[in-house]
Structure formats: C-alpha cells, structure tokens
Structure 1
Amino acid sequence: MEQSNDIESKQTGRIDCVVVAAGKYHDIDFARLELLKLLGENQRIRVRVFEDYANLTAIQAADFLLTYTCEVIPSLEQQVALREWLELGGRWYALHGTNSILRFLDNGQVDTPDWAPHLMETLGSQFAAHPPIAPFRVEVAKPEHPLVRGIEAFEITDERYLMDMTAEVEVLLDTAFEGETPGFVRDQWRAERHPVLYLRPLGKGAVLYLTLGHCRGHYDLRPLMDFWPQVDRCAWDHPMFYELLRRGLNWAARLDQPTN
C-alpha cells in the first residue's frame, strides 16, 4: 500500500477549513488536537475551530468542513444552509459521531430518535447502535477508488457503527455484523454489511463519512458518571486510521486533484 506520509502540498494557494469539534461522551480535546496536527501538515490550510454550526458565514466561506462531534445538531436553518453550501461545491469530511442523536431512557437503554431528518439525509446516514467495543474486520468495497486504492482488509478495535442509510451513497469500506447491541433500544441485528467509509454526492459537492474514531478520557461521561475508569483510544491507536484521515483531508482540500 502506498502510504500518504503527510497531507500533500504540491499545489499553491490558501485553503480554508472550518473544524467543528464538540459534543458529549467523547474526548473531544484529544480528537481536536490530533485533527489539528494533521491539518497543520500543510501550511496552505488555514483553520477556524468552532463548537457548533452557528457561524454559517465562516462555513460558507470555507473550502471544506471537518467535523468530530456527538450530539451536536445544527438548527434547521443551519441544516438548510449546509446543504446549499454542499450543493454549490463544498466538501464535508464527517467523522464518527457526527450523525448521532442519543437519548438515555429511564430504563437505562439508549434511543437514537429520528429528530433531524434533513441533516441525516444530507450526511447520508444516522447512527443507530453499536455492539461493545471489540476488534472487527473492515473490508474494501471499492478497491479501485482513489480514496482506498492500495488498502487491504484490516482489523481494528473501535465502535462498529450500525446505521440507517438515508440517501444513496458510494460505499468504500464496510464491515459485516449480525447479533446484539446491548444497551440500545434496537438491540437485535440481522446479518448485513454496514458502511465504514462512504461518499455521499450532493450537487457539485459531497460528504465523505468515516465512522471510525471513538475516543474517551476519564472525565468525558458526565453527567452519566464522574469518572470513567479507562482511557479509550480505539482507532486512534491504529496507523490505518491516520492513513484514512490523511486521505480524507486530501480529498476534502482537493489535494487529490491534479493541477492544470
């Protein structure tokens, strides 16, 4: 496999990026720092960082949007603006829990209600459940696609996302699952393949969604609990995850396209 050791820097000219990194139940500080270090590999990329989607002016002026969130849902007005920005040519690299809506019920189960259909249709999916964190196999669904060319099937430890697909997408990496997802309202799953990395075209733009990337520190489950006993890094401990991040950032910044 040809490794992309850093974000490509062959072209010239400024590239504007907006990062939205915020939310619940994850070590957002760790993820934000790791993503900023990757973006910093190319001095052409200039970054503004926010905790939500409220600054539509910044997003609409950006070349691409990068999100690592959980339970951060834009208003309907913001959702419409994001869709319009994508259709005009924007690119959105959405990571892990960007498509998540979680509600903890009195019986202890976790529900994932369909409360933001416009957003989820834009993203192409909505998170529904995951089995306990454990190693699982990721396979290449489109080996000829530039984003995954040269990558072979690999095993990784992370949350294996099971999702409701809300639009037609091009699946690049996927995984198989059949079984139970304890703790979720939807806790029984028949044998099926689930996307791990996919492209969702929208007009002149697109969403690239990567479901990997769970992380949690000791203090990230409040108010559910004050102290989580272990530090979870999951895919962040795997070199392949960083390879996928770099390839996705190259795509988002259009560094994967030859100069004229």
Structure 2
Amino acid sequence: MSTNEKPAGRIDCVLVAAGKYHDIDFARLELLKLLAEVEHIRVRVFEDYSNLDAISNADFLVTYTCDVIPSLDEQEALRAWVAAGGRWIALHGTASILRFLDNGLVDSPALAPHFMETLGSQFIAHPPIGPHRVEVADPTHPLVDGIEPFEVIDELYLSDIHADLHVLLDTEFEGDATGFARTKWRHARHPVLYLRPIGDGSVLYLTLGHCRGHYDMQPLLDFWPEKQRCAWELPVFYDLLRRGIAWGKASNE
C-alpha cells in the first residue's frame, strides 16, 4: 500500500469546531464521542477551514462554529468538494456572521454570499431562548423516519434562505427577535433540519444545539451566569446527530 492510499475500511472525517459565544469545548467533545462510536471513522480536528488538503481528502465534514467564515478561496474549495460528492454536516451557528452595532443590536451582514449559498441559508436572528415545537416536514425521509414532533428549549433560528432546500424538520414563529437588527418577523415556518444538494454531494444542516458555559461571552461579559445545554439535553437530538453521522459516512460505503 502506498503512503497516499487509505487503508481499507477506514472513513476519514474532518471536524471544524470553533467560534464565539458558545461552549465549543463541550460541543467538540460530544461530537467526538459520537464519532468514536463508529470505530472505523478517523477524525482530524481544526478551528477553521484553512486545511483544504485535509478537507479534500475527507469522506465527510462536520462543523460546529459561530462566526467562523472561510476565505473566498476556501469557500470555493468547499463548494467544489461538496459538488464532487462530499457530505457536510453543518450544525447550529455554521451559517452565522455576527456584528455588534453601535446601538447594541446584533447584525448579520451578507459578507459571504458564496458560503451561505453553499450552506443554503444564513442565520439572521433568534427570539429569546425558550420552548418551541419542532415538526417533521418529510416523515418519509430516512433521516427523520420514526421521529415524532418534539418540544425543545433552544435558539429558534430565523434565517435567509439562499437555495432550494429539502426541509426535513421545521418550526413556526411570529414575533420579535429581541436584540437583533432585524427584529420583527411575520408568521412563517423555518427549517430546523434540511438537505441542500449540490452536484453529487449535499449539505445536511441542523440548526439546533446551542450551548454556552460561564466564560464563553468574554470579552463582552466576564461571567455568564447560567450554563446552557438546550437541545443537547434531549435524546432526540443525539438521535439526529447519530443519523447525520451515518448519512455522512455513507458517502464512502
């Protein structure tokens, strides 16, 4: 076997876990534990998208980030990798760009349209964290087959949609996204889990999974009073993550 040839049976995964205002250590560890349940998955972990060689040689990609934006060259390489058959499991804040305005509100500017078109959406705002009901939009799809509607306390993502999406889970909302520049939202359904096909590959995006520890709002706040785990406290969330990993590794099977 040559040094560039992958051993038989091995599945290579890249995990990008980094960003602002979230307990990235917690999310990274939980994802690594789930990936380790499949013994032939080997994982490399990075804080951004700059190791394009690792990504291009990966069978699938998992990202849990907040306000981590690849360069244009990296965005184009990611799109090409997916189009060539790659599978990308994008979680929670992967599609976020956050900028604090002088008035204290949080803006989500359109600074990376190519990246957001690849992901299929861009996070814009969320109402205050609270309970909401997640519905199954396509119960016939294997990724959500047998999943029942469930209540979750988490960030309800309000996003701009930039592609044709195959929505698997969704929720509805009408009201105010307090603290964000785009505050008022009319009644609509919003995707929670969707597939965004590109060429021979696809992005699987799950918006749930907020988490925050005591020190994750620095330097804005020295201490955040409450640990937040949100959907990570629900068995159904881990079920969805395991299904996503099975879908991602299937690209090599």
Following superposition of structure 1 onto structure 2, how do residues 12-91 of structure 1 map, counting pairs within 5 Å? 13-91=9-87
Q: What CA distance in whole angstroms lies between the structure 1 residues aligned with 2:100 and 2:218?
A: 13
Q: Tell me, yes or no, if structure 1 residue 136 matches structure 2 residue 132.
A: yes
Q: Tell me, yes or no, if structure 1 residue 159 matches structure 2 residue 160.
A: no
- RMSD between superposed Cα atoms in Å: 1.0
Q: What CA distance in whole angstroms lies between the structure 2 residues aligned with 1:106 and 1:225?
A: 17
Q: What CA distance in whole angstroms lies between the structure 1 residues aligned with 2:118 and 2:145?
A: 26
Q: Deviations over 1:196-225 (max 9, x none)?
A: 000000000000000000000000001111
Given the two structures, how large is their TM-score scaled by the length of structure 1? Answer: 0.93
Given the two structures, how large is their TM-score scaled by the length of structure 2? Answer: 0.96
Deviation at 1:92, TM superposition (A): 0.2
Question: Which residue pairs with 2:91 in the alignment?
Answer: 95
SS of the aligned residue for 1:194 comes to strand
In structure 1, stretches of 5+ residues that fail to align are 1-11
Q: What CA distance in whole angstroms lies between the structure 2 residues aligned with 1:22 and 1:160?
A: 21
Question: Which residue pairs with 1:124 in the alignment?
Answer: 120
Deviation at 1:106, TM superposition (A): 1.1
Question: Which residue pairs with 1:6 in the alignment?
Answer: none
SS of the aligned residue for 2:69 comes to coil
Percentage identity across paired residues of the two chains: 71
2:109 partner letter: P
Deviation at 1:34, TM superposition (A): 0.2
Deviation at 1:253, TM superposition (A): 0.7
Deviation at 1:135, TM superposition (A): 0.7
Q: What CA distance in whole angstroms lies between the structure 1 residues aligned with 2:63 and 2:186?
A: 30
Following superposition of structure 1 onto structure 2, how do residues 168-179 of structure 1 map, counting pairs within 5 Å? 168-179=164-175
Structure 2 counterpart of 1:148, from 144, 147, 171: 144
Q: What CA distance in whole angstroms lies between the structure 1 residues aligned with 2:143 and 2:126?
A: 25
Runs of 4+ in 1 over 4 A off after TM superposition: none
Q: What CA distance in whole angstroms lies between the structure 2 residues aligned with 1:230 and 1:169?
A: 35
SS of the aligned residue for 1:222 comes to coil
Q: What CA distance in whole angstroms lies between the structure 2 residues aligned with 1:150 and 1:71?
A: 33
Q: Tell me, yes or no, if structure 1 residue 194 matches structure 2 residue 187.
A: no
Deviation at 1:152, TM superposition (A): 1.1
Question: Which residue pairs with 1:212 in the alignment?
Answer: 208
In structure 2, stretches of 5+ residues that fail to align are 1-7
SS of the aligned residue for 1:254 comes to helix
Question: Which residue pairs with 2:3 in the alignment?
Answer: none
Aligned residues between the structures = 246
Question: Which residue pairs with 2:101 in the alignment?
Answer: 105
1:123 partner letter: L
2:142 partner letter: P
